[in-house]
Structure 1
Amino acid sequence: MTRVGKTRRALRGLRGLRGLLTGLCGAALAVAGTAPSQAAPGPRPAWEARDSGTDARFRGLAAVSRSTAWVAGTKGTVLLTRDAGRSWRNVSPPGAGALEFRDVEAFDARRAVVLAIGDGDASRVLRTDDGGRTWTETFRNPDPRAFYDCMTFFDTRHGIALGDPVDGRYRVLATGDGGRSWRVLPPDGMPAALPGEAAFAASGQCLVSSGRRDAWIATGGAATSRVLHSADRGRTWTVTGTPVPAGDPARGVFALAFRDRTHGLAVGGDYRPGQPSERAAARSADGGTTWTAAGSPPPAYRSGVTWLPHSRTTAVAVGPTGSDITTDGGRTWRGFDTGSYDTTACAPDGGCWAAGEKGRAARLMGTPH
């Protein structure tokens, strides 16, 4: 499928989002500035700032543990902390200053894979096995029609990366060796894309997985927002609509989170400043086959979402105008912070992180059990 113009292409990749949102929410990444909309019993969550020492905008985030996290963003920037964010090491790939990193997937403090977005050969994948001391480029997109948005791994070997539709179908890359090599999967098992449909490279969460084989894709830009599901590591897909409004290149589902292969959350809205984002969240209890709108959704566009480990009901969503928490599995959300974040992730040991514009990085404190 050919692109419908530079403007829509930019919207799909969110390359212009940084400029549109630069003026939003200059609040510092500190507990000061939080504004819960409703009091709640028990501990109140708060983001605790972790100075990254850079002004890059981070949309890629990999939470390895309470102490270890990777972030990736603009100007080819990749940072690593191994001391809970007290210090960050700049491990950016040499010569990558022109690349826009939008996703990072990490297996531990040494092994990580980063995805750069863009038309044609601007879309690339790089991998490190030594904590970012050296990097190897393992994929450079040869097709000028293709534009890659996000990626996910099922285990330390198997992963997939998602590209916007080409010839009417989403393009999926697959790796079986931890991101050292990639191949384009046959398009036969992919449902046809809707006119104008695309994924959003906003937080590294337009493609997510749970377990060793299940993956989901979030879409927008078309008449309706949809979620695609694969139970075989991306070879075949089914698709269903969601109640999150679309109908415009700037609206749809931006991020997904599944705490297992059954229970999922979707967040999104309209990323343009000042535009309403009704029904900006939905939930699924059947693996993404059906979706129900949140009864009390976040009040504005949200670009990232994550389940808290060891909880069946608690999750956090973030966006450029604030953060929200649900303690009832996505039925209702309440705000707890007004700072600007683009992405969020939790590690298996319970360490939860967020990252965003102007080098912002933070850890989540005081969450309910």
Structure 2
Amino acid sequence: MKRPLIIAAAVAAAFGLLQVPASATPEPGLTWQLSPTGSDSRLRGLSAVSHHVAWASGSGGTVLRTTDAGASWQRSTPPGAETLQLRDIEAFDAHNAVAMSIGPGEDSRIYRTTDGGATWTETFRNTEPTAFYDCMAFFDRRHGLALSDPVDGKFRVLSTGDGGATWSVLPSDGMPAALEGEFAFAASGQCVSVAGGRDAWIATGGGAKARVLHSNDRGRTWTAADTVLASNASGGVFATAWRDTKRGIAVGGDFAAPTNGVDALGLTQDAGRTWTKPSNAPQGYRSGVAWHPFVRSGAIAVGPTGSDVTFDSGRSWKQFDAGTFDTVDCARDGACWAAGATGRVGILRLTT
């Protein structure tokens, strides 16, 4: 069987789509099936629970939830968050989710719902004037981390052990010093990411080097490594995704030059200690990336100038969509969702 047909069968099976006989199957294509949300908010937060359930969050305190595969969306706003940017959301099912707003000082907050967004409880409000929270990630339903830009020269990390109901600042003595001008990008909710039960990574830019910091003890101690991505005041590593605790992809670039994909993607096989460049990369800045749970070598990257797919663990990439998205997430059942500007949300489909 020729390689395109092997890919077609693998992708069709992975995405839960019907297959036609191999003899009649042309080379497959991927597309985003857009789901009208009724919102014009920019949706940088996204959590894919399943094919049927997904949550998104964004500007104007917007939280959107679907429980019918995107046929309809329910909107809610945490009390007091009407003017805030909810740049990240982490959902555990159709009822339980945690949303984060970004910004200086008290604009950085965390909210929690246990009833599908009908009510929200504020569980954290930043009182450190120099902190600016960017993103969150959860190891499981109870344990998670939230990341702030450097405070007193070091990245600040919050920890929760009760599903986001309470948060505490982790000690900074295990965090290496930040570079001059270094920070994290609140672009896709993926500037901190996790794998397994204890490993976490922080993606950075803005400094002399674009770095990735790694922790193997749920955020108490960290080591920093330079990546192959370029860094400047508007560029660096925007997101990482991890197939396991060793193999990862870092995406980014320069948001001020969105069509420039030079030195904007890196690969690692040693938990982020060393990074290599792919043989070819997306032709533009990419802010979000996700591995597919069933296609072991498959991953998707998205950004304002398009979406790309790899079938060889990131060594080569092909663009399949030219529309704008900011973030992407894949659920355990194989459904992949993307979200972005003007309320744009899509679910990944195979075309033949």
Q: TM-score, normalised by structure 1?
A: 0.87
Partner amino acid, structure 2, of 1:234: G
Match of 1:171 among 149, 153, 156: 156
Partner amino acid, structure 1, of 2:264: A
What is residue 174 of structure 2 aligned with on the other side? 189
1: distance between equivalents of 2:60 and 2:161?
A: 29
- Superimposed CA distance per residue, residues 239-298 of structure 1 (whole angstroms, 9 cap, x where no aligned partner): 11100101x210100011002111100000000146633021111111111111111011
Cα pair distance change 1:287/1:302, threshold 3 Å: same
Q: Count residues with an aligned counterpart.
A: 328
Contact 2:258 2:285 in 1 (8 A): no
Match of 1:126 among 83, 90, 111: 111
2: distance between equivalents of 1:170 and 1:251?
A: 18
Runs of 5+ consecutive residues of structure 1 not aligned to the other structure: 1-39
Q: How many Å apart are 1:65 and its aligned residue?
A: 0.3
2:300 matches 1:343: no
Partner amino acid, structure 1, of 2:108: S
Say which structure, 1 or 2, has more relative contact order (CA 8 Å, 6+ apart).
1
Contact 1:159 1:174 in 2 (8 A): yes
2: distance between equivalents of 1:147 and 1:80?
A: 26
Partner amino acid, structure 2, of 1:203: S
1: distance between equivalents of 2:143 and 2:338?
A: 25
What is residue 328 of structure 1 aligned with on the other side? 312
What is residue 48 of structure 1 aligned with on the other side? 33
Aligned residue runs from structure 1 range 94-133, under 5 A = 94-133=79-118
What is residue 308 of structure 1 aligned with on the other side? 292
Partner amino acid, structure 1, of 2:346: A
What is residue 211 of structure 1 aligned with on the other side? 196
What is residue 265 of structure 1 aligned with on the other side? 249
Q: How many Å apart are 1:93 and its aligned residue?
A: 1.7
Q: Which moved more, 1:56-65 or 1:280-289?
A: 280-289
Q: How many Å apart are 1:186 and its aligned residue?
A: 0.5
2: distance between equivalents of 1:352 and 1:304?
A: 12
Runs of 5+ consecutive residues of structure 2 not aligned to the other structure: 1-24
Identity fraction in percent: 58
1: distance between equivalents of 2:146 and 2:61?
A: 19
1: distance between equivalents of 2:234 and 2:47?
A: 26
Match of 1:353 among 337, 347, 352: 337
What is residue 184 of structure 2 aligned with on the other side? 199
- Superimposed CA distance per residue, residues 197-224 of structure 1 (whole angstroms, 9 cap, x where no aligned partner): 0000000000000111110000001111
Q: TM-score, normalised by structure 2?
A: 0.91
2:70 matches 1:85: yes
2: distance between equivalents of 1:157 and 1:274?
A: 36
2:250 matches 1:245: no
Partner amino acid, structure 2, of 1:143: E
1: distance between equivalents of 2:28 and 2:51?
A: 18
2:65 matches 1:72: no
What is residue 21 of structure 1 aligned with on the other side? none
Q: How many Å apart are 1:122 and its aligned residue?
A: 0.2
What is residue 277 of structure 2 aligned with on the other side? 293
Q: How many Å apart are 1:301 and its aligned residue?
A: 0.3
